[in-house]
Amino acid sequence: MADSSTQPTDESASSADHIEGEDTFDRLVDNEARVLVDFYADWCGPCQLMAPIVDELAAETEVPVAKVDVEELPQVAARYGVSSIPAFLVFEEGAVEEHLIGMQNKETLAQTI
């Protein structure tokens, strides 16, 4: 029973999508009406604190939520002027509509999408 209390839901189905390539990122942003992208790095403490919030939001919304590791895809981060992390960009029809820097609460992120 302890296992079920530590795992509230099937997180594999609810977590944000990790983007591993620039082409994948471009397809997602170009093909979806609206997308929330979390720019992060594994070494970033605030990013680690935001991860469960981002995953929770991904499970609660129909808007795609994606994560981009700035260490893996620095060219994508540079393209959008991401110099501080965590950073959250909301794309609408392929263009950046909102750019939030630093830790955010779930309600703020939800309002942007």
In SS3 terms, the chain reads as CHHHHHCCCCHHHHCCEEECCHHHHHHHHHHCCEEEEEEECCCCHHHHHHHHHHHHHHHHCCCCEEEEECCCCHHHHHHCCCCCCCEEEEEECCEEEEEEECCCCHHHHHHHC
Task: Quick: pLDDT tens for 54-78.
Answer: 999 999 999 999 999 999 999 999 9
Q: How many domains is the chain built from?
A: 1
- Per-residue confidence at 88, pLDDT binned at 50, 70, 90? very high
Q: Respond yes or no: is residue 47 known to be catalytic.
A: yes
Structural domain includes residue 90: yes
> Whole-model pTM?
0.85
Q: Residue 62 is part of a domain; what is its CATH number?
A: 3.40.30.10
Structural domain includes residue 22: no
pLDDT, position 47: 97
Q: Is the model's pLDDT at 9 over the cut of 60?
A: no
Q: Is the model's pLDDT at 95 over the cut of 90?
A: yes
Q: Respond yes or no: is residue 25 known to be catalytic.
A: no
Q: Which among 44, 54, 70, 77 is annotated as catalytic?
A: 44
Structural domain includes residue 19: no
Q: Which among 29, 35, 47, 87 is annotated as catalytic?
A: 47
pLDDT, position 112: 92
Which residue carries 């170009």 as its tokens? 30
